Structure 1
Amino acid sequence: MSGHSKWHNIQKTKGAADAKRSAAFTKIAKEIIVAVKQGGSGDPNNNSRLATVIAKAKAANMPNDNIKRTIDKALGSGNTDNYESVTYEGYGPGGVAVIVEALTDNRQRTAPEVRHYFDKYGKGMGAQGCVSWSFDRKGVIIIDNEDGDYDEDAVMMDALDAGADDFNAEDNVFEITTDPDAFNDVVKALEEKNYAFVSADISLVPQTYVKLESDEDIKNMEKLLDMLDDNEDVQNTYHNWDQD
């Protein structure tokens, strides 16, 4: 089946997360705390947002003990963590669309920092909605088949039978996309068949991609993404830069 290819746009992000695993776990822990508090439950069977974050945590190889400890912390009466979800939109070099999702306990700190990154390495931060119209929210599951452990047709049929919308195979990588509401069910069904994920999350997928031609634009775009990734308040960064 045909589909967009997101893998080339997450390879660099994955490498950065692997190199900074502790920081990645800290960010996921923050998402778990928010999910528990907003969902009112530490049971993923009764809290769909928590189930989504747990799938992301497992794909990132976050130990089960860490996940349980974070859930227990969020449920504790003495927990005072209070994070607010904020989204920033703007333009990178060459008009690349960028969306930044953050969890912060201080907007007055986070907003100026993100704006500075956009001003220094991109074309500036825009108004809410300036680029989000060109992205679709989808569940995205990535399976690495570099070792040839999986049969492509079997994975495709298992994914579609589980309720996935689309399946795409490229460079020994399988990309499965779902409706956000079906994401947790698809993840659970594939886990039961012992598939291992490189990543599993509800993402913003660009409708079109932008190719950067100049070395300066590429360098600045890489720097913008690195700065956002290093910011402790930034949870997710989405963009439509075609890195092929």
Structure 2
Amino acid sequence: MAGHNKWSQIKRKKGANDKKRSAIISKHLRAITAAVRSGGSDDPSGNLALKNAIAAAKSDTVPVDNINNAIKRAAGGADSGQDFKEVTYEGYGPGGTAIFIEALTDNVNRTVADVRAVFNKRGGSLGNSGSVAWQFEKKGVILLPDASEAAQEAAIEYGAEDLQVSEDGLEITTDPTELYAVQDGLASAGFTTENASLSRIPSNTVAVSSEDAGKLLRIVDALEELDDVQNVFTNAEWPDDLDLG
């Protein structure tokens, strides 16, 4: 988990400096739309994908009105020309790192071409289906600003699988189906979570040099800038001196 913990810190620092708010909001609203349509319900209590999408949007401070409007439009059949499909891509980055990409698209040919172009331009390579997926496991991840012993005990009591303490607080790993049960349990115990979302955690990490880490970060940034890409995961063991500028 140490590598993932470091990446979580990097993501938060990048997010704090990210000025492309409209792009971030658009990605979340796309995920919400897809969740309503694929789940056949606009009620998050009976649609886990929608619940996940709403939670992720709120974690990135997407306005509640935007979230509610997206749910209403999707449930009402608005924008019916956009039927988003969930697709994943796998590839390799500098230093032998693995990259796993989650996307939502209404045009698979366009998306794969865009993803391949990023890899080709930035020094990576797009792999075949299954080439790196086996290295990542889907988990729930909760970020808690409070890393006290009481918070750790509560997390374990409510079903956490793993805990990591960092300068930013406590990172809690759960079974993906238990994410919200653990979060709700922590809330009932008086602990407020900063973020709760589904993630892909690498089973093993690969240490990369500062030079390769910089190249990999540029690949990740370019992939995340694509409209269709929702999430990018890597198994890199990021160096402490990584420049996020």
Q: TM-score, normalised by structure 1?
A: 0.89
Please say if 1:200 is aligned against 2:214.
Answer: no
* CA offset digits 1:77-104 (Å, max 9, x no partner): 3331211111100100111100011101
Give the corresponding residue for 1:241. Answer: 236
Maintained 8 Å contact 1:59/1:196:
no
User: How far apart in 2 are the matches of 1:24 and 1:203?
Assistant: 17
User: How far apart in 2 are the matches of 1:210 and 1:242?
Assistant: 5
72-81 or 12-21: which moved more? 12-21
2:153 to 150, 153, 157: 157
Shift in CA distance, 73/16, structure 1 to aligned 2, threshold 3 Å: farther
The alignment-based identity, stated in percent, is 36
226-235 or 169-178: which moved more? 169-178
Which structure 1 residue ranges, 4+ long, deviate > 4 Å from structure 2? Answer: none
**Secondary structure of the corresponding residue to residue 174 of structure 1:** strand
Structure 2: where are the runs of 5+ without partners? 240-245
Give the corresponding residue for 1:74. Answer: 74
**Secondary structure of the corresponding residue to residue 45 of structure 1:** helix
Q: How big is the alpha-carbon RMSD for the aligned residues of Structure 1 and Structure 2?
A: 1.8
User: How far apart in 1 are the matches of 2:66 and 2:150?
Assistant: 33
* CA offset digits 1:44-83 (Å, max 9, x no partner): 1111111112221222222222221111111113331211
1:10 to 8, 31, 49: 8
Give, as a single letter, the amino acid of the residue that structure 1 aligns with 2:206. Answer: V
Maintained 8 Å contact 1:32/1:71:
yes
Give the corresponding residue for 1:49. Answer: 49
Give, as a single letter, the amino acid of the residue that structure 1 aligns with 2:90. Answer: E
Alignment of 1:56-205 (within 5 A): 56-80=56-80, 81-144=82-145, 150=146, 152-193=148-189, 195-205=191-201
Q: TM-score, normalised by structure 2?
A: 0.89
Structure 1: where are the runs of 5+ without partners? 145-149
**Secondary structure of the corresponding residue to residue 208 of structure 1:** coil
Matched positions, count: 236
Maintained 8 Å contact 1:55/1:187:
no
Shift in CA distance, 130/54, structure 1 to aligned 2, threshold 3 Å: same
Maintained 8 Å contact 1:95/1:123:
no
Maintained 8 Å contact 1:48/1:184:
no
User: How far apart in 1 are the matches of 2:176 and 2:202?
Assistant: 15
**Secondary structure of the corresponding residue to residue 82 of structure 1:** coil
Give the corresponding residue for 2:222. Answer: 227
Give, as a single letter, the amino acid of the residue that structure 1 aligns with 2:121. Answer: K
